[in-house]
Amino acid sequence: MDLTDQMSELAGQAKRASRLLTRISTDDKNACLLAMADALEKNTALIQEANAKDMDTGREMGLSQAMLDRLLLNEDRVSGMATGLREVAQLPDPVGRVLEKRERPNGLILRKISTPIGVIVIIYESRPNVTADAAGLCFKSGNATILRGGKEAINSNRMIAQLMVEAGCNTSGDFPEHSIQVVPTPDRAAISELLAQSESVDLCIPRGGEGLIRAVAECSRVPVIKHYKGICSVYINGAADLEMALKITENSKTHRPGVCNAMETLLIDEAIAPALLPRMGEAMKKHGVELRADEKALAILGDGCKAAVAEDWDTEYLDLICAVRL
């Protein structure tokens, strides 16, 4: 079976599963999600064994420490995935909800009712916990999902999906085994082949850097929900509490610099800069953060940081680098 046939089969299985999902009740969906959460926690060792292989692959690929941190699944992160699934189970079922109701002058009643989309392809990078998050949300909303993570996370992703599917099948006889699938090959060509299956795939959601988003949008023959830049900025007002500002700044850059909600640019009111910047610079230095500052900030920070260039205000580093501007 060549790649085209393989992706066609994958998409066809998902389409059939999406139709079967209409039979499953809200109670059964919630029971399946809770069973999936339990299965992840009970099989933490199996998940970490698969993740260890991916970590080795990541090191061989020369991933930065921040990117390796995105890839890592420790006990807390596995527990976090399980907690997320339990939270999804507690959410109201979005399927069948009446969004709008109108009555026409002739007595005709019109209702807008939420329904599942069908088959959703989700493409993402490094973080394997997205597998559980995305699959859980799609399942709760009645959608079949095909997941494609980075090649460095394929073992973790496949193990997480396998455990979730097994738990669902063991919990409800109405659970379709192909409602959660992982693209089984790291071949990049699989993405364009999969997104050419317009008769089976209804939507694609890419999560990642600008390069990934653009590549997906350009090759897809199905609708794509996309964004391009994920640059997060922190602004410190002149009336801000200095201690709170320092804690927020340090945490938002150094806690997990490789995730998409980490701070990339720090904007500071000039009025507070002389009191804040030297202390902030020392705190960042302890964590090995490289600061790239504009002329005014550079004059206060002094040695130990670089002069920012135009590209620094427009870059998502996902690393221990931060642009500073007054």
Mean pLDDT of 230-234: 87
Q: Which two tokens stand for residue 227?
A: 């964004």
Q: Would you state the pLDDT for residue 126?
A: 72
pLDDT tops 90 at residue 208: no
The kind and range of the H/E element at 103 are: strand 98-103
Among candidates 37, 70, 41, 36, which has minimal Cα distance to 153?
Answer: 70
Cβ pair 232, 290 in contact under 8 A: no
Q: Would you state the pLDDT for residue 213?
A: 87
Cβ pair 4, 193 in contact under 8 A: yes
Q: Would you state the pLDDT for residue 259?
A: 79
Three-state secondary-structure class, residue 123: strand
Q: Would you state the pLDDT for residue 235?
A: 95
pLDDT digits (tens, 9 = 90+) for 193-206: 999 999 999 999 99
The two beta strands, 290-293 and 263-268, are unpaired
Q: Which two tokens stand for residue 212?
A: 């990934």
Give CA–CA dist 312/325, Å, rounded: 10
Q: Would you state the pLDDT for residue 302?
A: 82
Strand intervals (E) in 133-275: 144-148, 180-182, 203-207, 232-236, 263-268
pLDDT digits (tens, 9 = 90+) for 65-103: 888 998 999 999 999 999 999 999 999 999 999 999 999
Burial (CB count <10 Å: 0-12, 13-18, 19+), residue 191: buried
Residue 15, phi then psi, degrees to nearest 5 = -65, -45
Cβ pair 322, 264 in contact under 8 A: yes
Nearest-10 crossing angle of helices 75-90, 129-140: 10
Three-state secondary-structure class, residue 206: strand
pLDDT digits (tens, 9 = 90+) for 255-310: 888 777 899 999 999 999 999 999 998 999 899 899 999 999 988 988 778 889 98
In angstroms, the Cα distances linking 197 to 19, 191, 275 are 17, 10, 58
Residue 244, phi then psi, degrees to nearest 5 = -65, -40
pLDDT tops 80 at residue 230: no
pLDDT digits (tens, 9 = 90+) for 147-165: 999 999 999 999 999 999 9
* Rg of the chain over all Cα atoms, to the nearest angstrom: 23
Give CA–CA dist 321/98, Å, rounded: 47
Q: Which two tokens stand for residue 266?
A: 């720090």
Q: Which two tokens stand for residue 41?
A: 């926690």
Instruction: Choose between 187 and 210: higher pLDDT.
Output: 187
Cβ pair 313, 325 in contact under 8 A: yes
pLDDT tops 90 at residue 175: yes
Q: Would you state the pLDDT for residue 8?
A: 96
Burial (CB count <10 Å: 0-12, 13-18, 19+), residue 97: exposed
Nearest-10 crossing angle of helices 273-286, 242-254: 30
Give CA–CA dist 161/156, Å, rounded: 9
What percent of the chain stands above pLDDT 70? 99
Q: Would you state the pLDDT for residue 303?
A: 79
pLDDT tops 80 at residue 16: yes
Predicted structure pTM score: 0.83
pLDDT tops 80 at residue 229: no
The number of angstroms, rounded, from the C-alpha of 206 to the middle of its chain's C-alpha atoms is: 9
pLDDT digits (tens, 9 = 90+) for 50-62: 999 999 999 999 9
Cβ pair 263, 253 in contact under 8 A: yes
Q: What domains appear along the chain, each with residue ranges and CATH number?
A: 3-219 (3.40.605.10), 232-325 (3.40.309.10)
The two beta strands, 306-307 and 290-293, are parallel
Cβ pair 158, 152 in contact under 8 A: no
